[in-house]
Amino acid sequence: MSSGRDDSLPIPLEKIDEIKSKWKNPMMKPRIAKVTLNIGVGASGERLEKAAKVLEMLTGQKPSIRRAKRTIRDFGIRKGEPIAVMVTLRGEKAIEFLEKLFTAIGNKVKMTQFDEYGNLGIGLKEHILLPGVRYDPDIGIFGMDISVTIERPGYRVARRRIKRAHIPRRHRTTKEEAMVLLHELFNIAIE
């Protein structure tokens, strides 16, 4: 390639080589920490129960119900009312779900979907786009938000209860590192 770039990544080859050379240290190689699926219905009742069924069908895990943080009269939402369901996937389940997700969206992701710390946010308009999922007229069609959290080993230091410490900026993942990791794991193109 004469341009000095990989066509599927918007990063120069020199930068990719620099990132991969840093990964020789096992504590510096990022990994997928979790995948969070969220369906916000906006109201409690039968529709929320159907959304929970969809998430349970897709992941095999029981979803967690999320409640409204404050009252919004215009939308008819009261504080404490259940309005959404979510599931967190980790490990092999997360990798398997991401493989299905990326095939559903055509193995393409936009650069703007990454945040500065390398996390990825994807919106899926219809859950039936995922391979192997069939339309059920009793349930209907639901869209969902999917968040992929990418971090390096050692992030537990920031979350543990005893002797909690700050993660320095040099140990946080960057947008470019997340792009290279996802391209390496799932062979996705980033526009």
Q: What is the DSSP string of 49-85?
A: HHHHHHHHHHHSSPPEEEE-SS-BGGGTB-TT-EEEE
Q: Which residues pair with 93 in a beta bridge?
A: none
- pLDDT, the chain, mean: 92
The model's confidence at residue 1, banded by pLDDT at 50, 70 and 90, is: very low
In tens, the pLDDT along 27-67 reads: 999 999 999 999 999 888 899 999 999 999 999 999 999 99
pLDDT at 10: 86
In tens, the pLDDT along 86-126 reads: 999 999 999 999 999 999 999 999 999 999 999 999 999 99
CA pair distance 190, 92, nearest whole angstrom: 23
Q: Is the pLDDT of residue 9 over 90?
A: no
Report the predicted TM-score, pTM, of the whole model to 2 decimal places. Answer: 0.89
- List the domains of the chain with CATH numbers: 13-36+87-190 (3.30.1440.10)
CA pair distance 83, 78, nearest whole angstrom: 10
Which of 74-78, 79-83, 94-98 shows the lowest mean pLDDT across its residues?
Answer: 74-78
The model's confidence at residue 6, banded by pLDDT at 50, 70 and 90, is: low
More confident residue, 10 or 162: 162
CA pair distance 36, 97, nearest whole angstrom: 11
CA pair distance 90, 154, nearest whole angstrom: 16
CA pair distance 47, 92, nearest whole angstrom: 30
pLDDT at 2: 42
In tens, the pLDDT along 120-147 reads: 999 999 999 999 999 999 999 999 999 9
